[in-house]
Amino acid sequence: MMMQGIRKAGQSLIGRLIIAVMFGFLIISFAIWGIGDIFRGYGRNAVAVVGKTEIGLEQVRAAYQNEVQQQTRRQRRPISPELARALGLDQQVLSRLVTEATLDQTAAKMGLAVSDETVRNLLFNDPNLKNAAGQFDPARFNELLRAIGMNEQQFVREQRAATMRQELAEMVVGAVTAPAALQELGHRLRHEQREIAYITLPDSAAGEIAAPSEEALRKYFDERKAAFRAPEYRTAGVLVLTPANLADPGKVSDADARARYEQVKAQRFGSPERRTVQQIAFPSMEEARAAKARIDAGESFEAVGASRNVAEADLTLGTFTREGLFDPAVRDAAFALAQGAVSDPVQGGFGVVLLRVPTIEPARLKAFEEVADEVRRDVAVSRAAEQMSDLHDKIEDQRASAKPLPEIAKEFGLALRTFGPADSSLGKADGTQETSLPGGDTTLQAVFRSDIGVDNEAVRLPNNGGYVWFDVTRIDPPRERGFDEVKAEVEKQWRADEVASRLSARAREIVQKLDAGEKLDAIAFAQGLAFEDATLGRQDQSEALPRNVVSLVFGTPAGKAGSAAVENLGRVVFQVRTATVSPYVRTAEEAENFVRVFSSSISEDLLAQYLAKLQSDLGVTVNQAALRNATGGNQN
């Protein structure tokens, strides 16, 4: 009624004046009370502000959803909101949008622009938009626009901006390359090798360690109380709904199982024919025909191969299924031969060849009786998957009515598992490990984020694999443990530290002897220890020489010695004999690839510094609450 009155009053000049005065007072009052921004809209829906450019909530939401869809297609699996946030997709999208806004403003300030002709040439020369004749295809262009949800004007605008950003970036880093000194250093880091001699001091080399006194253990405990503190333990009831635990193979009839077997037997239960293929290559069809005539006259395939300088071991290409042979002509000829026969000359993709198939492994299909149980299980799981959505909704309805999880499990005939008491790494108070939860870390973290009495949202398992409901039933908070409670654990740790200390002292003595000129093999013989040697690159590692030892080896000058602890083995004492590196050849393919990657890394670093300076000058503010709203982060 009020709006009708306003419209009626606005039909006369006096009425329009009255309405103007009324709204004028409203606008002034809004400005006085400090909410004038409601008319300007500046910053109200901004996730970030870069200089004078706002990055709006809808802009971020659209970019984020597009990124999630691309990741889904790339990984060929659904990307849940939790996984997307764990991968940092929200921050990546925002960072990209901030970078684009920064470069756009900088280009505008510098008076840079991209002409229509440049954009037109980019589109017309894009190989993805050309037809078989190599010409620009409007149909493909329109198909692209539909796929990305843009009209022609929007696409051109985006291309113009992207081209401008690329040109601006290339102005900064376009000619950057890795300096020669860094190239040589990178070559050394990749190719340096070190020859070492080493011995391993086992725990037994620490000698006999007398039992500690009560006073010594108490002192050790008092100095390390935090290390023996009991973590928080949680207990929860867990209800899991998956096609596997819902399936009942006993309800699948023999007819249904046989029908499924017929559908999938070729792919699931059959092994295709495999053939071992041998070949001899010839420079021309005439020479191949002459060789085939010699074979037909009684000369062996191996003898003809030897006349072509092909050793008998090199005749065999391998054993292949039909799909495994890449060359169509060779494939067709090889799978048309009888076992042991030699083909006529074949014009393959890589030259003329004679083929022989010495062995054939026939195709095999498992009978239904061999796989009946597996097929029934598959049918039952497929049927259960079809019931999942309906059963999920029924369980959710029961949860909404505050029905306890044990009663829900009983009503639907599902098992209720008791989790815990266990800590956040699945450790239990008795030193054993709790069995992992369905959904892994996602479910475990949800349990430890919740509380007693909280109505928790179901955890959705990956690839539509089911759901997990849980209720936290008990929380044992972290606490200090008394000496008597952890005495055995304290003594075990005290002994381990004592062994490590003694081994370290003994290794130090050996290192001093080696640096003074004694020989490691003589020391090893005198002390009854095994003497070993090895040649190592920086990336090498083994159980006896793990990563921490190798890193120390490459930090020790040639001729010097060192030592390092090795988990479960004791302590390694080593002496570096030589340090060598092959000459750096700048024109080698591997070196070219390294320079390309290294130069790209330097360019990225320079561009990042340039962008940081631009953003510092422009000023960047981010509204994290708006970002969570745009990307669904407020749903948890």
User: According to the model, what pLDDT value does residue 497 have?
Assistant: 92
Contacts of 335 (CB under 8 A, 6+ apart): 273, 275, 322, 325
What count of residues does the chain have? Answer: 636
Nearest-angstrom CA–CA distance, 47 and 625: 8
User: According to the model, what pLDDT value does residue 272 have?
Assistant: 83
Vertex 74 angle, CA 70 and 75, to 5°: 120
**CATH number of the 193-226+486-580 domain:** 3.10.50
3-class SS at 532?
strand
How confident is the model over 182-204, as a mean pLDDT?
84
User: According to the model, what pLDDT value does residue 33 have?
Assistant: 35
| pLDDT-derived band at 477, boundaries 50, 70, 90 | very high
Structure tokens at 76: 């060929």
- Express each pLDDT in 492-533 by its tens digit: 999 999 999 999 999 999 999 999 999 999 999 998 899 999
3-class SS at 437?
coil
Q: pLDDT at residue 429 above 70?
A: yes
User: According to the model, what pLDDT value does residue 175 have?
Assistant: 67
Determine which helix (DSSP H) or strand (DSSP E) holds 183, and give its type and residue range: helix 180-191
End-to-end CA separation in angstroms for the chain: 42
Structure tokens at 335: 């799978």
Structure tokens at 363: 């195709």
- Express each pLDDT in 275-312 by its tens digit: 999 999 898 899 999 999 999 999 999 999 888 888 88
Top-confidence range, 39-53, 182-196, 201-215, 369-383: 201-215
Q: Does CATH place domain 273-362 in 3.10.50.40?
A: yes
Comparing 477 with 263, the larger pLDDT belongs to: 477
User: According to the model, what pLDDT value does residue 366 have?
Assistant: 84
- Express each pLDDT in 109-122 by its tens digit: 888 777 877 877 88
User: According to the model, what pLDDT value does residue 103 have?
Assistant: 85
- Which amino acid, residue 291? A
CATH number for 46-174+616-635 (one of 3.20.20.70, 1.10.4030.10, 1.10.10.10, 3.40.50.10260): it is: 1.10.4030.10
Is the separation of the CB atoms in 320 and 274 below 8 Å?
Answer: yes
Q: pLDDT at residue 571 above 80?
A: yes
User: According to the model, what pLDDT value does residue 586 have?
Assistant: 66
Structure tokens at 578: 């030589």
Burial of residue 571 (number of CB atoms within 10 Å: 0-12, 13-18, 19+): buried
User: According to the model, what pLDDT value does residue 513 have?
Assistant: 93
How confident is the model over 348-361, as a mean pLDDT?
87
Q: pLDDT at residue 73 above 50?
A: yes
3-class SS at 280?
strand
Q: pLDDT at residue 43 above 60?
A: no
User: According to the model, what pLDDT value does residue 145 have?
Assistant: 73
Q: pLDDT at residue 234 above 90?
A: yes
Among 39-43, 179-183, 304-308, 357-361, name the one with the lowest average pLDDT. 39-43
Nearest-angstrom CA–CA distance, 444 and 434: 11
Comparing 43 with 468, the larger pLDDT belongs to: 468
Quote the mean pLDDT of the chain: 82
Nearest-angstrom CA–CA distance, 397 and 469: 13
Let me know how many helices (H) and strands (E) the chain has, helices first.
24, 17
- Which amino acid, residue 392? H
User: According to the model, what pLDDT value does residue 25 have?
Assistant: 43
Is the separation of the CB atoms in 614 and 169 below 8 Å?
Answer: no
Residue 112 main-chain phi, psi, to 5 deg: -90, 150
Comparing 591 with 358, the larger pLDDT belongs to: 358
How confident is the model over 414-438, as a mean pLDDT?
91
Residue 50 main-chain phi, psi, to 5 deg: -115, 105
Residue 524 main-chain phi, psi, to 5 deg: -60, -45
Q: pLDDT at residue 606 above 70?
A: yes
User: According to the model, what pLDDT value does residue 636 have?
Assistant: 44
User: According to the model, what pLDDT value does residue 622 have?
Assistant: 87
How confident is the model over 365-392, as a mean pLDDT?
84
**Cα–Cα distances in Å, from 321 out to 265, 276, 315, 458?**
17, 9, 18, 46
Burial of residue 345 (number of CB atoms within 10 Å: 0-12, 13-18, 19+): buried
Comparing 53 with 10, the larger pLDDT belongs to: 53
Burial of residue 30 (number of CB atoms within 10 Å: 0-12, 13-18, 19+): middle
The residue among 516, 503, 511, 504 whose CA lies nearest residue 574 is: 511
User: According to the model, what pLDDT value does residue 11 have?
Assistant: 44
Structure tokens at 524: 């090893």
pLDDT over 70 percentage in the chain: 89
The residue among 605, 610, 602 whose CA lies nearest residue 106 is: 610
User: According to the model, what pLDDT value does residue 6 have?
Assistant: 42
- Express each pLDDT in 310-353 by its tens digit: 888 888 888 888 887 878 888 899 999 999 999 999 998 778 89
Q: For 433, which DSSP code?
A: B
pLDDT over 90 percentage in the chain: 31
3-class SS at 102?
helix
Is the peptide bond prior to 421 cis by the omega test (within 30 degrees of 0)?
Answer: yes
Is the separation of the CB atoms in 621 and 84 below 8 Å?
Answer: no
The residue among 575, 566, 568 whose CA lies nearest residue 504 is: 566
- Express each pLDDT in 536-567 by its tens digit: 988 888 888 999 999 999 999 999 999 999 98
User: According to the model, what pLDDT value does residue 322 have?
Assistant: 84
CA torsion sign for 123, 128, 131, 137 is negative
- Which amino acid, residue 616? S
User: According to the model, what pLDDT value does residue 168 have?
Assistant: 78
Q: pLDDT at residue 423 above 90?
A: yes
Q: For 130, which DSSP code?
A: B
User: According to the model, what pLDDT value does residue 32 have?
Assistant: 36
Rounded to two decimals, the pTM is: 0.48
| pLDDT-derived band at 181, boundaries 50, 70, 90 | confident
Q: pLDDT at residue 379 above 50?
A: yes
In the chain, how long is the greatest CA-to-CA distance? 118
Q: pLDDT at residue 133 above 90?
A: no
User: According to the model, what pLDDT value does residue 357 have?
Assistant: 93
Q: pLDDT at residue 583 above 90?
A: no
User: According to the model, what pLDDT value does residue 466 have?
Assistant: 86
Q: pLDDT at residue 584 above 60?
A: yes
Determine which helix (DSSP H) or strand (DSSP E) holds 353, and give its type and residue range: strand 351-361
E strand map for 411-567: 416-422, 459-461, 466-476, 531-537, 561-566
Determine which helix (DSSP H) or strand (DSSP E) holds 278, and give its type and residue range: strand 274-282
Instruction: Give 3-state DSSP helix, strand, coil % of the chain, rounded to 5.
Output: 55, 20, 25
User: According to the model, what pLDDT value does residue 171 have?
Assistant: 76
User: According to the model, what pLDDT value does residue 245 have?
Assistant: 78
Q: pLDDT at residue 632 above 80?
A: no
Contacts of 445 (CB under 8 A, 6+ apart): 424
How confident is the model over 352-367, as a mean pLDDT?
89
Q: pLDDT at residue 369 above 60?
A: yes
Is the separation of the CB atoms in 419 and 239 below 8 Å?
Answer: no
